[in-house]
Amino acid sequence: MRWQDLEQERCSVARTLSVIGDRWTILILRDCFLGISRFDDFERRLGMSRRMLSARLQKLVDKGVLRKKPYQQHPRRYDYLLTAKGIDLRPVMLAMLAWGDRYLSDGAPPMLLRHDDCGAQFTPVVHCSACGAPAPPGRVSVEPGPAAEVTALP
Amino acid sequence: MRWQDLEQERCSVARTLSVIGDRWTILILRDCFLGISRFDDFERRLGMSRRMLSARLQKLVDKGVLRKKPYQQHPRRYDYLLTAKGIDLRPVMLAMLAWGDRYLSDGAPPMLLRHDDCGAQFTPVVHCSACGAPAPPGRVSVEPGPAAEVTALP
């Protein structure tokens, strides 16, 4: 399988990787969720080359995850802002954050999540959209869907 | 920032990327969650080189995400099985799957999730561990924790 083929694969995880499956891209998105929007700020925080940063940002714009909004005309400069499609990647970020907090932070999480509605610090828990109850890993089954490539497992 | 430094960063997303921030690795884990456990099956399904596959599997074992269990003695062969730490990566996979289903599947998701407790097909929803209510992206704040590197945002 070549990486160019990922977005054609009949698997939503693989297709999602075709958009965000690059470590720099995920760090850029993390910074977007922290409120960073300007090229120079991304560059300073991430320490990646301007050329690579520019290419990653443009890909996210092309994929509809970020949008560019001019904040200066001469020379033209842009804020890179999450679209609704981009904001919907937050559960991916939260899930990575929760796992890192649990297993890789030695009990001292670098960032905390607060639930605005109840005011408490929390960790994200996966619930079922149908019944609303928790859906922990051991209580979830995966089945082939209408566009399944994998219909039989060994 | 160099990739070797990721696991030292004071950010749980970056640290998680130091373990799973490789597209092949995420596809290997996806297959583990689908019940694949043997080297030849990973190789056949993913079409990656044996050398690269071997290195990725060994890294996941070294990081405590997978464990090796012999199933044959001559020659020695192993099943690669998710540990508890590995199983806890399921929310990351589910979040990627849900986003791909929503935005990249043209309404025909390749895989479906079923909640064993209620029997319904579902999409994962993030809830708050403190109050149990939904915690959608717009109702979550991120704050510096005890080990924060980023204490002020622009």
Q: Is the pLDDT of residue B104 over 70?
A: yes
Is residue A38 located within the same domain as residue A95?
no
- B67 and B7 in a single domain? The answer is yes
- Is a pLDDT exceeding 60 seen at residue A65? yes
Round to whole Å and give the CA distance between B46 and B35.
Answer: 14
Say yes or no for a CB contact (<8 Å) between A120 and B97: no
| Domain hosting residue A76, numbered range | 3-87
- B153 in any annotated domain: no
Say whether both B116 and B81 belong to one domain.
no
| B10-26 mean pLDDT | 82
- In this structure, the answer to whether residues A59 and A98 fall within a common structural domain is no
The answer as to whether A154 is a domain residue is no
Are the beta carbons of A99 and B16 closer than 8 angstroms?
yes
Minimum mean pLDDT among B47-51, B89-93, B138-142: which range?
B138-142
Residues B141 and B134: their CA atoms lie apart, in Å, by 14
Percentage with pLDDT > 90 across chain A: 47
Residue A102 resides in a domain: yes
Do A70 and A20 reside in the same domain of the chain?
yes
Give me the mean pLDDT over the A128-136 stretch.
Answer: 93
Q: What's B45's domain CATH number?
A: 1.10.10.10
Residue with tokens 């029997």: B119
Residues of chain B with C-beta less than 8 angstroms from the C-beta of A134: 127
Burial class for A97, CB neighbours closer than 10 Å (0-12, 13-18, 19+): buried
pLDDT tens digits for range A10-55:
788 888 887 877 888 999 999 998 899 999 999 999 888 999 999 9
First to last CA, chain B: 20
> pLDDT at residue A119 above 50?
yes
Contacting residues of A for B139, CB less than 8 Å apart: 115-117
Mean pLDDT of chain A: 86
Question: B21 and B35, same structural domain?
Answer: yes
Among the partner residues A22, A88, A125, nearest to B102 by beta-carbon distance: A88
Residue with tokens 């694969």: A9
Query: What are B54-72's pLDDT values in tens digits?
Result: 999 999 999 999 999 999 9
Residue A146 located in a structural domain: no
- Maximum Cα interatomic distance, chain B, rounded to a whole number of Å: 61
Structural domains of chain B, count: 2
Is residue A148 in a domain? no
The pLDDT assigned to B2 comes to 61
Residues of B in contact with A27 (CB under 8 A): 13-14, 17
B149 pLDDT above the threshold of 70? no
Distance, in Å, from the CA atom of B13 to the CA atom of A92, rounded to the nearest integer, reads: 10
Residue A68 has pLDDT above 70, yes or no: yes
